[in-house]
Amino acid sequence: MAFLKKIWKDRQSEHPSRRKLIAVSGSPDTYEVERAEGLILEEGEPFDAKNMNDLENRIEGGFLESGLCRYAHAKSKTVHQLTGPANAKGISFAAAVDFSGGDTFTVNGVAATARTLSGDPLWAGYFKKGSVVVCYKEGNVLTFSGGGGLSSADQKTVKDWMVEGHSVLNGRVSGSIPQITADGSGYVAGTGNVTEGEVWVQPPRQSAYYSGARWLKGAVPQLTAANLRAGVQLPGGLSGIFTADATASAGDLLAGKTAYVNGSEITGRIPQVTADSSGYVEGVSSITDGEIWIQPPNQNAYYSGMRWLRAKVPALTAANLRKGVSLPGGLSGTFEGPIYGRSYCVAMGNSPNYDSEGVCSSDAVGMDITYNYQTLNAKAYTATFTIKESGNYGIYLNGVVERYVNKTAWSGLVIDRASAEDEAYSPIGESPSGYLECTAKAFNRTFHKWLKAGQTIQGYAQGANETLSFASVDFGIYKE
């Protein structure tokens, strides 16, 4: 138990110093003294054996629980015997002998379990003879305040991460990592394995500490200069000298050049064609619509310094190329030929689904052309020319229209349908949206008009929504 403090109280009375003398009968001049203090206010704590013994016991109890009590130490066989005050919590003793692994303890003859602060059993050499050892007793358990420091789990961790031959905690925990020392050149021998573009070396141990290792060296007897193709150099300086896999022949070398293939000398046969100082090699041309072909002077040859294959085409001049046309390389035409356009459109009725059959073919020089079909009452096939140069133009128109009563088939010409200057001509005297009873009509007419750039001329042929209807138009335009 801990030391218990006591509150000491003084005696308090009405007359603390007053005493009464009482004569002793038969003994002259002899008196007994008696307190005559009057009213007693506080009895107080008397200074007597009871109170003094209580003080002694309380002091002893305090020392036993919170202080260190010196115990005697002895050992009988494997039992360490501690003898000292009963109920002491803190114990110190001078070790009479060394502690050995597996030893046990008694305290005043009662068996006690010994352990470290971390809860581990004491190990061999935990204390030595002559050392002062301190422990704390709680029930029948002795907890020693020295040594310890690492739990069993921590000790295993240290063991697993420490190299063999090294230890901690006074040799209690020794390393388990194997150590492999390199030779004098810093090499550790392993097992070599070679794959495509890679070299692998397996170390002698997968988990080990390698001391002084600069290289892992794996023996690969087949990896020699004689087995490595000539021209190939590996890291470290190994260069191949093997040439037996060469595949070149005389047809793969330039004429006049020599080489050794699989130990035999060969002379090349490839002809060489050298370009002139401008980098040109002359060839033969062939020109088709939209393409130019140049045949080289030799189909199987080495061309040295060639920037262009050039073929002479005397007829290909600016004077023979229409004005406004530019070719790659910068040639631009100067020839101004006739500007014209021509179209032929045919449409035939195909009742009852308002569809038509027909054709539309066109040709133009110096103007843009589009042709298609569109739906009016049935199908109309049209060709549209867009004027690119303002001027006087001649326009001719001829065609045939055949239809039944109250059915519609048309052919004709429209100038600039999209603008306010729209002008339409129908050979039967009606606009393209009208109706007229007729059978067949042939027509032929020529116009002369001033047209400006951007205007359009459209010829059309429209079949009726009835079988046997027929319309055709053949029209042309040319600059006068």
Helical (H) or strand (E) element with 54:
helix 49-66
- Looking at residue 209, its pLDDT comes to 82
**Pairwise CA distance, residues 408 & 431, whole Å:** 11
- Of residues 197 and 454, the one with the higher pLDDT is 454
Inform me whether the pLDDT recorded for 135 exceeds 60: yes
pLDDT in tens, 393-445: 888 887 777 754 445 666 677 776 555 455 555 554 443 433 333 455 777 77
How far apart CA 156 and CA 427 sit, in angstroms, is 113
pLDDT number for residue 171: 66
pLDDT tens string 106-125: 999 999 999 988 888 998 88
**Structural domains of the chain ordered from first start:** 1-66 (no CATH), 68-144 (no CATH), 275-310 (no CATH), 340-479 (2.60.120)
Candidates 400, 407, 345; CA nearest to 370 is: 345
Mean pLDDT of the chain: 78
When pLDDT is averaged across residues 153-164 and rounded to a whole number, the result is 72
pLDDT of residue 406: 47
d(CA 413, CA 400) in angstroms, rounded, equals: 13
Q: Check residue 440 and give its pLDDT.
A: 59
| Alpha-carbon span 127 to 133, nearest angstrom | 7
pLDDT over 60 (residue 180): yes
pLDDT at 142: 94
- Quick one: pLDDT band at residue 190, thresholds 50, 70, 90? confident
pLDDT of residue 437: 39
Give whichever of 130-134, 277-281, 424-428 has the largest mean pLDDT: 130-134
Q: Poorest-confidence range of 22-36, 228-242, 265-279, 383-397?
A: 228-242
Name, of 91-100, 306-315, 411-420, 423-432, the range with top average pLDDT: 91-100
Mean pLDDT across 38-61:
79
CA distance 177 to 242: 45
Whether residue 221 is preceded by a cis peptide bond, meaning omega within 30 degrees of 0, is: no
> For residue 477, with 0-12 CB atoms within 10 Å meaning exposed, 13-18 middle and 19 or more buried, which class applies?
buried
Listed in sequence order, the residues at least 6 apart from 101 whose beta carbon sits closer than 8 Å to its beta carbon are: 123, 124
Least Cα distance to 97 among 78, 69, 122 occurs for 78
Q: What is the average per-residue pLDDT within 44-64?
A: 74
| CB-CB neighbours of 421 under 10 Å | 11
Question: What is the rounded average pLDDT of the residues 253-278?
Answer: 83
Mean pLDDT of 346-350: 65
Residue with the larger pLDDT of the pair 354 and 444: 444
Share of the chain above pLDDT 70, in %: 78
pLDDT at 266 over 80: yes
pLDDT for the residue 152 = 65
pLDDT of 133: 92
Residue predicted with more confidence, 76 or 2: 76
Flag whether the pTM goes above 0.75.
no
Q: What is the pLDDT of residue 182?
A: 82
* Residue 408: predicted pLDDT: 60
Exposure string for 389-400, b = 16+ CB within 10 A, e = fewer: eeeebebebbbb
What is the pLDDT confidence band of residue 367, given thresholds at 50, 70 and 90?
A: confident
Average pLDDT of 371-397? Answer: 75
Give residue for tokens 């042939």.
442
pLDDT at residue 405, rounded to an integer: 42
- pLDDT for position 174: 79
Average pLDDT over residues 193-202: 80
